[in-house]
Amino acid sequence: MTSPAVVVLSAIDPVLRGVAAGDLLCDLPGALVVQHDLLPAGLRRVVYGSDGVREDVLVPLEHACLSCALREDVLPTVRRTLAGGGAAPAVVLALPATAEPLPVVQALVRARVRVGPLVTVLDGASVVDDLLGDDLLSERGIGLTVDDARSVGEALAHQLELADVVLLPGPAPAQATAVLEHLAPEGARHVALHSGGLAGATLVEDARTRRARREELLRRGDPRCLGSRSTDDRAGVWTLDLRSWRPFHPARLLEEIEALGAGPMRGRGCFWLPTRPDVVVAWDGAGGQLSIGGVGSWGSPAYPGHVAERETRLLVTGVDHDPAVLRRAFDSALMTDAELATGLDRWAGRPDGFDAWLGPLEEVA
């Protein structure tokens, strides 16, 4: 007998999250919803099904962060609900609004919990502005915590780019549909709310083996493992796949960083620097905000059985912006043959201007 799946539901809008959870209960008779919200007083946990609320508990937390909540309550509650759910076909884990699903998904995978499709619900009418605009979560009053400094685009992109199913409350404009097709994983389904399109085994069952599913989910969140894009540019939406075996020149990258990361664009990927040749540096930008940070080493497995070769790759999606500007900036920031011919040894210990993002160079040596 197949064990119940955990369907992870994410949203930036708490109202849409509630509507989507209700839809899942209708489409999956007998399913249970485990919903968490981070409040100033702690973590509110509500467990309910079509027969009503089973739990409504406020759990005090020492630190109001998703990782603490995951460790202290989310995983134990999911396991308890799975064990006591009887014939429930699925447990819907409704994450706090604006929470990033990746840490939760990775924790579930590593705990050997069967993870069903990852579902994101969003408003197609506003998705272009939400993803590519420069609004902050705090400006809209939807931050995960009082000091949440993320942009709306960053939060939504991290949900959308992990989704197997994108739920929409109604038809989306042509440009919004194109943006979703460019950013959602290849093969993600777009389903209208209240359409019954999530019913039964279509959502819960997966033809792939559990091991392949686990590896695929871990790979999906790794900046070294971005898939190739086959989506056509249309409705003013384009995606550039910029890649090279060369590292970025530290000084020129800083000169070109605004051209590469500013404007109505979503950028993701990774790169390397001659001063830190073993460090995988993640690139994560949306709505004019850019995050850069080390995420491991090139010699470590990206996922079981695979070690990614060192490369510089940025996958950038944008609208109403000249992609040729990005390509020129990218090419300009790369090291030249002449610079590489002198060898990487001469870069060892040289200041590169990235200590604020990647830590002091002496910690790399």
Alpha-carbon gap, residue 164 to 207, rounded angstroms: 14
What mean pLDDT is predicted for residues 35-41?
89
67 pLDDT band, cuts 50/70/90, is confident
What mean pLDDT is predicted for residues 159-181?
94
Quickly tell me which residue has 């960083």 as its tokens. 257
What mean pLDDT is predicted for residues 46-67?
86
| HSE of 233, CA atoms in CB hemisphere, 13 A | 14
Quickly tell me which residue has 């993701």 as its tokens. 268
Residue 338 pLDDT: 95
Is pLDDT at 101 greater than 60 in this prediction?
Answer: yes
Residue 210 pLDDT: 66
Residue 304 pLDDT: 65
Residue 276 pLDDT: 95
For the chain, what are the domain ranges?
5-221, 237-363
Tokens found for residue 276: 């830190």
Alpha-carbon gap, residue 326 to 239, rounded angstroms: 11
Q: What is the pLDDT of residues 254-308, one digit of tens each?
A: 999 999 998 899 999 999 999 999 999 999 999 778 999 999 899 887 666 677 7
What share of the chain in percent tops pLDDT 90? 58
Question: Are the CB atoms for 119 and 165 separated by under 8 Å?
Answer: yes
Residue 136 pLDDT: 94
Q: Using the 8-state DSSP alphabet, how is residue 136 labeled?
A: B
Tokens found for residue 220: 């999906």
62 pLDDT band, cuts 50/70/90, is confident
- Per DSSP bridges, beta strands 115-121 and 32-39 are unpaired
Is pLDDT at 236 greater than 50 in this prediction?
Answer: yes
Question: Are the CB atoms for 244 and 312 separated by under 8 Å?
Answer: yes
Residue 80 pLDDT: 86
What share of the chain in percent tops pLDDT 70? 92
Residue 229 pLDDT: 72
Question: Are the CB atoms for 255 and 148 separated by under 8 Å?
Answer: no
Q: What is the pLDDT of residues 182-207, one digit of tens each?
A: 999 888 899 988 877 776 545 544 44
Which of 68-77, 139-148, 298-307 shows the lowest per-residue confidence on average (mean pLDDT)?
298-307
What mean pLDDT is predicted for residues 31-57?
92
What mean pLDDT is predicted for residues 345-360?
92
Mean pLDDT score of the chain: 88
Which of 72-81, 115-124, 227-236, 237-246 shows the lowest per-residue confidence on average (mean pLDDT)?
227-236
Q: Looking at the DSSP assignment, which residues form a beta bridge with residue 118?
A: 8
**Strands of 189-192's sheet in order across:** 52-59, 42-49, 32-39, 90-94, 5-10, 115-121, 165-168, 189-192
Amino acid 216 reads: E
Pairwise pLDDT comparison (2 vs 114), residue with the higher score = 114
Pairwise pLDDT comparison (84 vs 152), residue with the higher score = 152
Measured distance between the N- and C-terminal CA atoms of the chain, rounded to whole angstroms: 52
Is pLDDT at 1 greater than 60 in this prediction?
Answer: no
Quickly tell me which residue has 């993640």 as its tokens. 282
Q: Which fold has domain 237-363?
A: Hypothetical Protein Yjia; Chain: A;domain 2 (3.30.1220)
Q: Of 328, 12, 18, whose CA–CA distance to 143 is shortest?
A: 12
What mean pLDDT is predicted for residues 88-102?
91
Residue 204 pLDDT: 46
